[in-house]
Structure 1
């Protein structure tokens, strides 16, 4: 870091402080509502943020809101690496690993093809498919950070976050009933829940509502899906580089810094040297960064823009969710 950058740091901090503070307050309110009413915190953060969308045009708040929606988001994605250890993945054997890789790849490919068939940009299919196949709102935010810039990208990201949050909550209620209907064993029930429900919190809630064994298996399978975030981000970064930078802008790196941070933290976490308290702190910081960032994204979005998306994107996300559930059930039936 050069001397000029150090000198301007206090000025930048003062410039970003109002917008960041507002985003933090919205995130705290969303967390309070989520804890007391049981709905996804990301959904509350989005709705509260959109209610304060007028702040995004305020001269004092706008720089901090932009910074929070961009940089704080990337910090939260990097900290997701604290959730992963190689030991957790190895404990389940090769079959669940193959299942997770297969379902993530197939779901994203089908989503891209479906998006194109419905008249959308293929990258919209990659965004919604990645959110569905990997880890819900967190994956949507991470992919949006790595994908090429587009005038409609923020609206597409917010729509995806709202969609996966709502569908994940619905899945948390319905999917345990599906495991009982098909009389799945505790291990297979855990694989189904961990392989299909979008967000980590809902996976944990659904899994442990059935049994401890089911909950443990569901959580590890879900974390394996989170680990797939890295190669998908790499693919998104390669697409961005292939499209080239904007005129006068620096060409984006092959592997974004937040993806490097994800790798490093996951590697360190796998050594066993990290105390559980530090892991919990990293997970909590990641959650807060993502909630704060989605609050800022909500403030940058006009409600009338989301209302104009139409029926097709909704059908696309429902179709992706149903496809993923059917795919995992078929794989379990085939002996995975």
Structure 2
């Protein structure tokens, strides 16, 4: 059977798992609004508590759909927050500092991972999430990495780690900017250039002043913009590696990774259209809200697919790597601020 009616069995199969992920997102948002806990972290923990639902059964297909397709939909809509006009208002020096900070943090993570005994997959996942936009970046990067038996636990550990570190930064970085006697604009650049998640950047920035909050938000969105080129570059490297491995093993079977994942192309297109002023403000507001809920559902689904026992096996070297990457980007941005004209 083809046509619209062929979708009905598929939707029926996906609905139970998607409903569970959506309910987890609602519960996480409720806890966040009433008790101040990070919504992403709550969704992840609630999902892990219900891990048994991801076993073969009525929820499995919908959980997998939420962790992959709903995630990518949410990443595309992130582009609604960003326009090139925002970045231009800061000046090329700040843009260069932010872009260089992202690139060097990822490079540092790839190098330092060798010291902690981790491979390039976890190094890129952790460094990309620290450098770009926390849990959202971690999920987007995980979507293009080659999958293995430890992919889910690496992703969950990274999301938990960057969320906790970002929450601590939200508390202590405003105190640090006061101790260093940074002006409001410089404090905003530091907050936006170093804290991992967008929500924590907004909270920390506006706790200093309105000017610091506005600058911090724009700087953070420039980092979010880096998600597309970083993922595109990584996709090209992965594609090249897979093709080389296929030639060396005379394998003609497996599908090659796409040159540009569709969700990355969608993200770039949305940013471009938003920069042209195509979208009315009301649509931008609605899309931002939908994106937030989609990412909450997706991280809840990732939690559902992950066993806490497996995550606990990641160990102290992984914690060391995340903390080192966080310290690196903070020190780099502080150093860069000392070189910029005040």
Taking structure 2 as the reference length, the TM-score comes to: 0.95
Q: What residue is the counterpart of 1:266 in the other structure?
A: 271
The whole-number CA distance in structure 2 between the counterparts of 1:244 and 1:262 is 25
The whole-number CA distance in structure 1 between the counterparts of 2:297 and 2:254 is 27
**Segment drifting more, 209-218 vs 6-15:** 6-15
Q: Is the 8 A contact 1:168 1:199 kept in 2?
A: yes
Per-residue CA deviations over 1:251-304 (Å, capped at 9, x if unaligned) read 221110100110111111111232211111111111111110110110100110
Equivalent of 2:107 in 99, 102, 109: 109
**Segment drifting more, 161-170 vs 235-244:** 235-244
Q: Is the 8 A contact 2:128 2:138 kept in 1?
A: yes
- Give the drift of 1:7: 4.6
- Give the drift of 1:161: 0.4
**Segment drifting more, 18-27 vs 143-152:** 143-152
- Give the drift of 1:239: 2.6
Q: Is the 8 A contact 2:117 2:317 kept in 1?
A: no
The whole-number CA distance in structure 1 between the counterparts of 2:298 and 2:208 is 33
Per-residue CA deviations over 1:119-176 (Å, capped at 9, x if unaligned) read 1111211110000010000000000011122221111011000001000000000000
**SS in structure 2 of the partner of residue 150 of structure 1:** coil
Q: What residue is the counterpart of 1:131 in the other structure?
A: 129
Pair 1:321 & 2:319 matched: no
Q: What residue is the counterpart of 1:204 in the other structure?
A: 202
Q: For residues 5 and 299 of structure 1, do their structure 2 counterparts lie closer, same or farther at Cα, with a shift above 3 Å needed?
A: farther
Q: Is the 8 A contact 1:148 1:239 kept in 2?
A: no
Equivalent of 1:252 in 248, 257, 263: 257
The whole-number CA distance in structure 2 between the counterparts of 1:249 and 1:32 is 43
The whole-number CA distance in structure 2 between the counterparts of 1:5 and 1:329 is 58
- Counterparts of 1:1-336 in structure 2, within 5 Å, are 4=2, 6-244=4-242, 248-335=253-340
**SS in structure 1 of the partner of residue 143 of structure 2:** helix
The whole-number CA distance in structure 2 between the counterparts of 1:5 and 1:309 is 46
The whole-number CA distance in structure 2 between the counterparts of 1:261 and 1:270 is 14
Taking structure 1 as the reference length, the TM-score comes to: 0.96
Paired residues, number: 334
- Give the drift of 1:58: 4.2
Q: Is the 8 A contact 1:147 1:239 kept in 2?
A: no
Per-residue CA deviations over 1:208-244 (Å, capped at 9, x if unaligned) read 1111111110000000000000111102211321232
In the alignment, structure 2 segments of 5+ residues that lack a partner are none
Q: For residues 91 and 139 of structure 1, do their structure 2 counterparts lie closer, same or farther at Cα, with a shift above 3 Å needed?
A: same
**SS in structure 2 of the partner of residue 15 of structure 1:** helix
Q: Is the 8 A contact 1:39 1:169 kept in 2?
A: no
- Give the drift of 1:327: 0.7
Q: Is the 8 A contact 2:116 2:320 kept in 1?
A: no
